[in-house]
Amino acid sequence: MPDELSDPPAPSAPGEPRRHAGLSAAVAWGRDLVLSVIIAVVLIVFIYQPVKVEGTSMMPTLTNEERIFINKFTYRFGLGKIERSDLVVFWYPLDTSKSYIKRVIGLPGDTVEIDTGQVIVNGKRIEEDYVPDEFRDRQSMSPRTVPPDQYFVLGDHRSSSNDSRAWGCVLRQYIYGKAVFVYWPLKLMGRVR
């Protein structure tokens, strides 16, 4: 019994396979682009956000015009705890249309005071190797207790920082990110210290 043969495919018009391949490539490219945009949006909205530092209040840790990534995921969903020395990004309490970045010094319940520029938390002087002597001021502040669900924050450039010494503590609900990585300029690229 002879093997059965199928009919050969009908001849196609010239250029048709090429057009079909081009259409498939365009669809695949479009799909990949849409997927990339969705992933980028999820990363920016929920996890990492690029921001530009404006001003000198965090020098020398961060300088004017540096670009950094902040992690919004850790604080938004309560997976990370705000700790002393974290660099946090928050809505400025006196004008919530503005964002500030400062270093956490006092946690809820802490007593913070400043004696001629030396920060004292709960009766103990804290080591602040991130504040060079030329950026310290020699001001004092009487003891303040940080209210529940609030944080006392200071800039590293103490003599040019507008911070909790002037306008008080930051509500937890205003803190939306933690500075984690400098990406520009390239010579400063690396983890925020």
**What's the one-letter identity of residue 108?**
P
- pLDDT, residue 42, reads 67
- pLDDT, tens digit (0-9, with 9 covering 90-100), for 41-57: 766 656 677 888 999 99
- Separation between Cα atoms, residue 181 and residue 193, nearest integer Å: 9
Q: Has residue 142 got a pLDDT over 80? A: yes
Continuous segment of H or E residues that includes residue 184: strand 175-184
∠ at Cα 141 (136, 144), nearest 5°?
Answer: 125
Position 9 confidence tier, pLDDT thresholds 50, 70, 90: low
Q: Is the peptide bond before 93 cis (omega within 30 degrees of 0)?
A: no
- pLDDT, residue 127, reads 94
Contact 66, 47 (CB under 8 A): no
Beta bridge partners of 125: 120
Catalytic residues: 57, 102
Mean per-residue pLDDT, 88-92 = 95
Mean per-residue pLDDT, 63-75 = 88
Backbone angles phi, psi at 92, to 5 degrees: -60, 125
Q: Has residue 161 got a pLDDT over 60? A: yes
Per DSSP, the residues of 21-78 read: HHHHHHHHHHHHHHHHHHHHHHIIIIIEEEEE--SSTTTTTS-TT-EEEEE-HHHHTT
Would you mind telling me the total number of residues written for the chain in this entry? Answer: 193
∠ at Cα 37 (72, 183), nearest 5°?
Answer: 50
Region 50-191: CATH code: 2.10.109.10
